[in-house]
Amino acid sequence: MVNRGRDHNFTLYWGEDNAPNLGEGISRTTKQNSSLWRIEVSFGNGRPMRELIRAVNHSQARYFAKNRYPSATNITLIGKANDSNIQPST
């Protein structure tokens, strides 16, 4: 092998794209027949986060949660929330 005085060192930087996918039909809905769904989202070793997601059915709620939180290690659908019992955050 002939060394012509050029050493080639290459470094490959690979970054995971964990940005949320947001938008109508991707992470939320505005349909009139939608309901609030309770979900629990885990991110590794930390405590899980609970959130409400508006969706038409449970599979759409899980789809919206996966798009909102692509770096989540676990997403659990708890169930349908009663809209009248939801208190606004202060």
Question: In the predicted model, what is the mean pLDDT of the chain?
Answer: 83
Q: Tell me the residue length of the chain.
A: 90
Helices (H), ranges, the chain: 58-68
Task: For residue 19, give both structure tokens.
Answer: 């940005």
| Model pLDDT, residue 18 | 76
Q: How many CB atoms lie within 10 A of CB 73?
A: 12
Prediction pTM value? 0.71
Tokens of 52: 């409400």
State how beta strands 35-42 and 49-55 pair.
antiparallel
More confidently predicted of 85 and 73:
73
Q: What is the pLDDT of residues 61-74, one digit of tens each?
A: 999 999 999 999 99
